[in-house]
Chains A and B, each alone.
Chain A
Amino acid sequence: MSSKGLPPGDGRRGFLEKGLIGGALLAAAGAGLLATEKTRRQAGAGGPYTVLDADEASIVLAIANRLVPPREGFPTPGSVEVPRKVDAIIGMMEAPTQKELRQLVALFESALAGLLFDGAPRTFTASTPEQQDARLLAWRDSRIAVRRTGFKALKGLCCAAYYSSPETYGAVGYPGPPELTAPIEQSSDESRQ
């Protein structure tokens, strides 16, 4: 269960575990201060979006592409519009939560954060699939709880967007909702429309 990334040195761990990641580092990522390399735009990440920008949408799609790697019968995350659906989910959240999630996406992408955390000085989108999997695992299995929180948030958004899409039901052997023919004792509730 140990982290697949480099174990942080004592000094660095102390710095990170004092909770600074939750504030200063997230804020720095959100402000683009850690963006030492540009995000590689992903094919299929087309908008328009209500909350995310094009870079953030590309990062989300790149994450989804590793959470749901190519497999026969599984539509690609791009083909079921995972970035647009994640954007819609985030769009329903309260403004401060939206901001935190955008900061998280930027931090996850950041080459500098990759270097500091895991000794991997490259953006997520510019990494090879193997490097991307290593970064996802490093976040998932980190000793730092807030990184595990970050992984859970990103995975939850991507999985919700992908697996709630009816186009993916066939891949998982889900026939979808049944046809229900029983009369629904409804009402005159047309009148409320």
Chain B
Amino acid sequence: MIFDQAALANIKTGRDLASDVVEAPDVCIVGSGAGGSVLAFRLAQMGKRVVVLEDGGFYTARDFTMQEATAFPHLYQEHGNRATADMSITILQGRALGGSTVVNWTTCFRTPGDVLQHWADRHGVKGLTPQALDPHWSAIEERLGIEQQPADEVNPNNAVLRDGGAKLGIKTDLIRRNVRGCMNSGYCGMGCPVNAKQSMLITFIPDAARLGAKFYANARAVKIDFEGRRAAAVHAVVSDPDTDRPNGRAITVKPKLLVLSGGAINTPALLLRSGMNPNGRVGKRTFLHPVIAGGAVFAEPVEGFYGAPQSISSHHFARRAGKVGFFLETAPIHPMLASIAGGGMGKDHQAMMAQLGHLNSLIALSIDGFLPEDDEGGEVTIRGDGRIRVDYEIRPPIWEALREGAKAMARIQLAAGAKQAFSFHSDPVLMQSEGEVAKLDRAPWEKLRVAVFTAHQMGGCAMGGDPETSVVDSTLKHHHLDNLFVVDGSAFPTSLGVNPQLSVYGLSHWAAGHVAAAV
């Protein structure tokens, strides 16, 4: 049983609070996603008293109805509407007990060794080596059942990447996934309806709750009080789970130690909202792996709405000398997201939608954060009215990577037998042969003329050796505070070049020792 009485006793929602709550634990963790949940479990194991505040709701498999109309409002940040301020980049980021792990597509990679080396060489990060992280990754991989997807369980959408890549000499690999008993239904992005995905929701959260860690869902941390070099208290407003509006209740936590694990947008936002930005680096160097999609039409059905969403990847283009690298994966194809992403007006858009079952979608994810400029990436700020603002100007070297990614995808699709490949420009580029792929060179690679996405948010509270240029040190402790740690993807000094969940789990598992020692 996943949620037995012992676990449920320590998971509260906005419905359960009859009055305001004050807690004084050893550690308060803001956020219950990949960073916060692993840390809550590890600290509870070490006998620490832990309180976790989660903005999102407590949903379980019975709530996961596989309908986009309910999944996005309930399970994604800003009810599925998060984007950069100019809406040029759509931001898919989870919001629920369990965070993005509830809705991610289950792809697992360890942090590449050369990325860790770059952090050491360029950003002064100490001690984060593949050797140091290995036992932590191994523990996570065992608990979450992370195994390679069987080769005979690759859906036709992913087979396009594998087969087209093979014809062109583009290396692809089977993806490792955190699933047990997966039915390959295809609905990872809307919450696993059969509890096959080993998200935080059904693993480390109940594990931690059974050990006494307390979780409050529907509890949005809005401000931290500081006293000198210490975080003294964190204040949360409580929402009604039915309306997702504040219900008048408040939670105040006065911990010995505070950990921010709200992810790469909400963590810097909470620090900024609380006036804690002594060196001006909070919210800077926000990385998104900006993503471009490539579509194709096949004569035979693809049914990209069914099957494990991601089972094949290619890092063939991840290391391009002197250029921004990119990696290739696939995206599941459900009607709402496809309609929002797809270009063409009126009849043309509708004609694309009418072929949904015959469409393939590949994605190219650009690897940002490795350019020489110190101010690379986006920025998280707070608007005058209190809303979070994310800005991200795609620089020319990243546009170049997205354009080359689009060309690679079209070639792969055509090699795999597509009748037509198309881009996600407002005015789509249509390609029926290899010779037409060059049309992409003449297409407008400019914001809001082509759909760009992110499902991977990183940075904004970068770790590093220099207190003037980074936010946390190599143990993830804030440079300018004695009892505040950042344990989530916002601590990454660059993007990763791989899907981030296992990197965040491993970092959190590793950091638990540092956090516990500081209590």
Residues on A lying within 8 angstroms of B by beta carbon are 1, 66-69, 71, 73-74, 85, 89, 92-94, 96-97, 133, 136-137, 140-141, 145-146, 148-149, 152-153, 155-156, 159-160, 162-166, 168-169, 171-174, 177-178, 180, 182, 184-189, 191-192
Q: Given that A92-B73, A159-B336 are known contacts, is A69 also in contact with B350, CB under 8 Å in the complex?
A: yes
Q: Which of A89, A153, A156, A185 contacts B2 (CB 8 A)?
A: A185
Cα distance A157–B211 when bound, in Å?
44
A48 to chain B, nearest CB (A): 17
CA distance A133 to B345 in the complex (A): 8
Chain B, interface residues (CB within 8 Å), range = 35 or more
By beta carbon, the residue of chain A nearest B351 is A71
Q: Tell me which residues from 335 to 349 in chain B have a Cβ below 8 Å from any Cβ of chain A.
A: 335-336, 338-340, 345-347, 349
User: Contacts A67-B346, A89-B81: A184 and B69 contacting too (C-beta < 8 A)?
Assistant: no
Instruction: Decide if A188 touches B185 in the complex (CB within 8 Å).
Output: no
Contact A96 B3, beta carbon cutoff 8 Å:
no
Contact B356–A177 (Cβ < 8 Å): no
Interface centre among A71, A146, A149, A163 (most CB of B within 10 A): A163
Task: Pick 29 A–B contacts, CB within 8 A, sort by A.
Answer: A67-B345, A68-B350, A69-B347, A71-B347, A89-B79, A92-B244, A97-B81, A140-B426, A159-B339, A160-B340, A163-B338, A163-B339, A168-B335, A171-B353, A171-B354, A172-B357, A173-B358, A174-B334, A177-B187, A180-B193, A182-B181, A185-B1, A185-B2, A186-B60, A187-B2, A187-B60, A188-B8, A189-B62, A191-B5
Q: Which residues of A contact B11 (CB under 8 A)?
A: 192
B87 touches A153 (CB 8 A): yes
Instruction: Tell whether B173 is near chain A: CB-to-CB under 8 Å.
Output: no
A168: nearest residue on chain B (CB-CB)? B335
Interface pair B427/A1, CB less than 8 Å apart = yes
CB-CB under 8 A for A185 and B195, given A89-B73, A93-B81, A133-B345: yes
With a CB–CB cut-off of 8 A, which chain B residues contact A168? 335
Question: Contact: A174 with B357, CB < 8 Å?
Answer: yes
A166 CA / B78 CA spacing, docked (Å): 23
- Which residues from chain A contact B88 at a C-beta distance below 8 Å? 145, 149
Question: A-facing mask of B282-323, CB < 8 A → 1, else 0?
Answer: 000000000000000000000001100000000000000000
> Are A172's CB and B79's CB within 8 A?
no
Other-chain contact of A152, B4, B349, B448 (Cβ < 8 Å): B448
Tell me if B516 is interfacial: C-beta within 8 Å of chain A: no
A182 to B62, CA, bound (A): 13
Q: Mark B409-431, 1 if CB is under 8 A from A, else 0.
A: 00000000000000000110000
Chain A interface mostly: helix
Residues of chain B within 8 A (CB-CB) of A137 are: 345
A71–B350 Cα distance when bound, in Å, is 9
Which single member of B62, B65, B67, B383 contacts A186 (CB below 8 Å)?
B62
Cβ of A145 and Cβ of B86 under 8 Å apart? Answer: yes
CB of B518 within 8 Å of the partner chain: no
Q: Name the A residues within 8 Å of B447 (CB-CB).
A: 145, 148
Residues of B within 8 A of A171 (CB): 353-354
Q: Measured between C-beta atoms, what is the minimum distance from B82 to chain A in Å?
A: 11
CB proximity to A under 8 Å, residues B1-21: 1-5, 8, 11, 13, 16
B347–A184 touching, CB < 8 Å: no
For A187, what are the chain B residues with a Cβ–Cβ distance below 8 Å?
1-4, 8, 60
Contacts of B87 in A (CB 8 A): 149, 152-153
Cα separation A85 to B67 with both chains bound (whole Å): 14
Say yes or no: is B66 at the interface (Cβ < 8 Å to chain A): yes
Q: In the complex the two chains form, what is the Cα distance from A176 to B271 in whole Å?
A: 42
Q: Does B194 contact A (CB under 8 A)?
A: yes
A93-B79, A178-B185, A182-B194 given; 4 more Cβ-contact pairs under 8 Å: A71-B354, A96-B383, A185-B1, A187-B2
Q: Top 10 closest A-B pairs, CB basis? A: A177-B66, A187-B3, A148-B448, A164-B69, A159-B339, A173-B357, A163-B339, A164-B336, A172-B356, A163-B335
Which chain A residue lies CB-closest to B447? A145
Residue of A93, A162, A166, A189 ringed by the most chain B CB atoms within 10 A = A189
A85 to B88, CA, bound (A): 23
- Whether B373 is near chain A, meaning CB under 8 Å from some CB there, is no
A141 touches B427 (CB 8 A): yes
The complex places the Cα of A191 from the Cα of B395 at a distance, in Å, of 51
Supposing A71-B350, A173-B356 touch, asked if A160 and B339 sit within 8 A by C-beta, the answer is: yes
Closest-CB distance, B224 to chain A (whole angstroms): 21
A179 CB to closest chain B CB (Å) equals 10
Alpha-carbon gap, A136 to B357, bound state (A): 27
- Min C-beta distance of A103 to chain B, whole Å: 14
> Is B335 in contact with A172, judged by CB distance below 8 angstroms?
yes
At the interface, yes or no: B24 with Cβ under 8 Å from chain A?
Answer: no
Of all chain A residues, which has the CB nearest B61?
A: A184
Taking a contact as CB atoms under 8 Å apart, the answer to whether B387 and A94 are in contact is: yes
In whole angstroms, how far apart are the Cα atoms of A74 and B2 in the complex? Answer: 42
Chain B contacts for A1, CB-based, 8 A: 426-427, 443-444, 449
Cα distance, A4 to B79, chains bound together (Å): 34
* Binary CB contact string for chain B from 123 to 146 against chain A (1 if under 8 A, 0 otherwise): 000000000000000000000000
Contact A149 B347 (CB under 8 A): no
Closest chain B residue, CB of each to CB of A65: B346
Find chain B residues with CB under 8 A from A96 CB: 383, 385, 387
Which residue on B lies nearest to A96, using beta carbons? B385
- Minimum CB distance partner of A159 in chain B: B339
Contacts known (A92-B79, A93-B78, A188-B5); A180 close to B194, Cβ less than 8 A: yes
User: Closest B-chain residue to A90, C-beta based?
Assistant: B81
Report how far A152 CA is from B65 CA in the complex, Å: 28
> Counting CB contacts under 8 A, is B279 at the interface?
no
Given the known interface contacts A67-B346, A186-B60, the answer about A141 and B73 at a Cβ–Cβ threshold of 8 Å is no
Kindly list chain B residues whose C-beta atoms are within 8 Å of the C-beta of A89: 73, 79, 81
Task: Tell whether, in the assembled complex, residue B183 and residue A180 are in contact, meaning their CB atoms are under 8 Å apart.
Answer: yes
